[in-house]
Amino acid sequence: MLEGDEYLDQLFVWHVDHLAACCTQFPTHPFTRLLMAHSLRILVLQGDGNKLAFHVKRRRQSDLIVADIVTPDAVEDVPPQVLRFYPPITEESHPPGMGYRPRRLAQYLDDECAIIRAQKVTPRGIITFMANKMGGSHVAHDRSLQDEYLQNKALIVFGEGAIYRLLEQCARSICCSLLPLRNEVALALGHKELEPSELNFVRSY
């Protein structure tokens, strides 16, 4: 039956798996970013019919924790069930003393992740722009006055707009944060867990 909590659980697992599949693509196709934004919008953003991850979490044990990379003086312990899905921080990958700190997903969405043209950029704003303006879920015929559109044109990273690159980074961080809950729900449904070894973006982003 396509109703009730079990349906929401199945829909949640499907969207996380879809997001994970998108995150494993290198290089990322421009339209793949729109697919990322579509699933992210349904999983974590406010709005009627959205926030699916938060609805499912109410009936489960797993916390929704994002592991942020921070400077040495702000490093905190991240729960091991969450940390296992994030790439290890090594001497080769980061400066000495760098580490992770736990951030609740609801807080992470509104954390400042970059400043472009003196504008605050947050994961929530990036996902909303890609989903509601660029065509992930809806498309705006005139995007030229959108802050994110202007910021994307103002700063180019490895040949592409910075907002596109930031969306990929946010998508992988959020996907990792959802995987413990995804596995808890999947096991209850009789499906298999996803292991870090199956997710190449966990090792490389």
Model confidence pLDDT, tens digit, residues 67-88: 988 877 777 889 999 999 998 8
Quickly tell me which residue has 């040949």 as its tokens: 159
Highest mean pLDDT among 13-22, 27-36, 72-81, 125-134: 13-22
pLDDT at 69: 85
Taking phi first (over 0 means left), then psi (-120 to 50 degrees means alpha), and beta for anything else, what does residue 118 get? left
What's the pLDDT at 159?
65
How far, in Å, are 38, 155, 170, 198 from residue 108 at the CA level? 18, 23, 10, 25
Question: What is this structure's pTM?
Answer: 0.88
Domain boundary assignment for the chain = 4-204
Q: Read off the pLDDT band of 143 (50, 70, 90).
A: low
Let me know: does 133 contact 149? Beta carbons within 8 Å.
yes
**Cα 36 to Cα 21: distance, rounded to the nearest angstrom:** 9
In percent, the amount of the chain with pLDDT more than 90 equals 53
Mean pLDDT check: name the lowest of 29-43, 147-161, 173-187.
147-161
- Tell me the pLDDT band of 138, cut-offs 50, 70 and 90: low
Q: Cis link prior to 88 (omega < 30° from 0)?
A: no
Instruction: Kindly report the average pLDDT of the chain as a whole number.
Output: 86
**pLDDT beyond 80 at 140:** no
d(CA 100, CA 86): 9
Cα 14 → chain centroid: 15
Averaged pLDDT for residues 117-142: 78
The per-residue pLDDT for 108 is 95
